[in-house]
Amino acid sequence: MKFFQKLIQRATLNTLDEMANDEKHRFMRDNPLLKDLGEEAYLFLLKRVAKRSYVRDELVFKQDNLGVCCFFVRQGSVEIYFESEEKNKTVYTIKKAGALFGEISAIHKTYRAASAKALENDTELFVLSSFDLEDLQKQYPSDYLKILQGITHTILDVLDETSRKLRLAEKANEDLTKRLG
Amino acid sequence: MKSDKFFRNLIIVLTLALLTLIFYQASSLLTPLLSAMVVAYILYPLINFSNRVGIPKGVTIFAILVFIFLTSVGIIFSVIPSIHDEMVALTSQSTIKPESHLIKVYNSLSDQLAGFGILNDPTSPEEVIEKLQEWQEENKNIFLNLLGAVRQTGEFFMVFMFILVFLLLDGNKLYMSLVNLLPNSFFEPGLLILRKTSDVLGYYLRGLVIENLILGLISFLLLLIAMSFTPLTVTLCFLISLAIALTNVIRIVGPFIGGAIGVFIVLMTNPDLLAMGSVFFVVLIVQFLDNVLVLPLVMKDQVNVHPVFCLLSVLMGGKIAGILGMMLAIPFIGAIKVVYRILTVEMKKFRID
């Protein structure tokens, strides 16, 4: 078995060497979410990453639709926004090249809490689905844990940022009340 | 913008029409393609498992191909000569004589039935010979057709192996090409449908293999028990249980075909009413165990289809694509159910605008 394992390892490294100039490989290897993965698990996921192109104002996903993917912005920018029933739009954030979004759906298929649309022409996204991660969990459980940790950190960062914004809003609200009062 | 949409839809419709035309023209390729897809679906977990324990994909695929090749060669060298001998014997006009095997079978059965008081005035062997010879005269071309069938099987096998190797090596690339075809506006629902239907198909086919292995084993054990009071032999028991297991891939209709083949095997080798009754009884027991125990355990409720729809879909599948159609009818209905569920429940709030 050790002989075969070495064979697989060598084949994986050879494939990655051959892919040295591949744009998907160069982009994904540097991504914080995937950079700690073992070579085999990384190649396993890389083969499953799909590339999508969007034009300006094209929807990536719509709020309330079932989400099964997370997206990495390769090029361009994506607006994440919420639309109320009265059609009032609140922009949460703008994701630029290198950013990850829609990550909750990648670990737990759930209805989207916000919509996402491309802000530029030629916006390119790399997509990883929850099914790919389920396959990774079966094949490389320890590497799946690393991805899970990475996604958890991203979610925590978003929560921290949201809390910070909320505190600032509260403080501004208090100041305004004092000034008016 | 509107004209863009019109042209895009027109291109999609034309592509679909072209694909339908190509499939219609090359329909003979559809059976090996579907068969290879079925086998590939069954084998994927094996390849993944061996990869997980450290055996490269290429080595596993090579081992699978060697196994398929050796099994086929084994079948060709063991079955073809006996079929050839039978053909030579049958084609010569002097085959059907009073001492021929068919007449012996006929005499033995009429004696046994007369013993039970069921058939007291059977047709004479001479009349049977006459009828069989008439049949032979009418069906002379059947042997030429058989040769044609052997050639077709060879062609089928070559195409099947080629597609199977391609699917096993590049199954993921093929899946990714399908994913890339999905439009942006329908990407996530499309991915969900693609994956869930693929899962249903894979789950059903792999479950079917496990189920039939279990049923084959149960039939073999029961027939071995029947051996103690009937003239059945171990080889016969093995052949009959193999027939039962193989034909069970077709839901509802399959077990009856399996039973009929089993009874026919006994009839042609050792025509004993008790042995035939035992085979029939074993088929009934196996079917009962399958429905009550094996099927719920192996398949769970993955492809939960009402028996009436089951029967209808199997018959329609048979009409459209023969045995393969009968075999794939249930997972196909299961896949439609999954798509319906996704579109009506999981994607209930789905909006594209």
Kindly report, residue by residue over B217-246, the tens digit of the pLDDT: 999 999 899 888 888 888 888 888 888 888
pLDDT attached to residue B95: 47
pLDDT tier at B92 (50, 70, 90 boundaries)?
low
Residues from chain A that touch B349, judged by Cβ atoms under 8 A, are 64-65, 111
Q: Which residues contact B118 (CB under 8 A, 6 or more apart)?
A: none
Cβ(A27)–Cβ(A127) under 8 Å? no
Q: Domains of chain A by range and CATH?
A: 2-180 (2.60.120.10)
Cβ(B294)–Cβ(B310) under 8 Å? no
Q: Which of B187, B196, B338, B352 to mutate to test the interface with A (most CBs of A within 10 A)?
A: B187
Q: Quick one: DSSP state of residue A79?
A: E
CB burial of A156-175 (b: ≥16 within 10 Å; e: otherwise) equals eeeeeeeeeeeeeeeeeeee
Cβ(A47)–Cβ(B328) under 8 Å? no
Closest residue in B to A5 (Cα) is B54
Phi, psi at A119, each rounded to 5°: -100, -15
pLDDT digits (tens, 9 = 90+) for A91-101: 988 999 988 89
In Å, how far is A76's CA from the nearest CA of chain B?
16
Residues from chain B that touch A111, judged by Cβ atoms under 8 A, are 349
pLDDT at B40 over 50: yes
Rounded Cα distance between A129 and A12, Å, is: 22
pLDDT digits (tens, 9 = 90+) for B299-329: 655 566 677 777 788 788 878 777 778 878 8
pLDDT attached to residue A33: 85
Looking at the partner chain, which of A62, A131, A139 has a beta carbon nearest the beta carbon of B52? A139
Region A126-143: what's the mean pLDDT? 90
pLDDT attached to residue A164: 92
- Contact A50/B53, CB-based, under 8 Å? no
Looking at the partner chain, which of B176, B184, B189 has a beta carbon nearest the beta carbon of A52? B184
pLDDT at B171 over 50: yes
pLDDT attached to residue B101: 62
Region B210-214: what's the mean pLDDT? 87
pLDDT digits (tens, 9 = 90+) for B93-146: 444 455 566 666 667 767 766 666 655 565 666 666 666 667 666 666 666 666
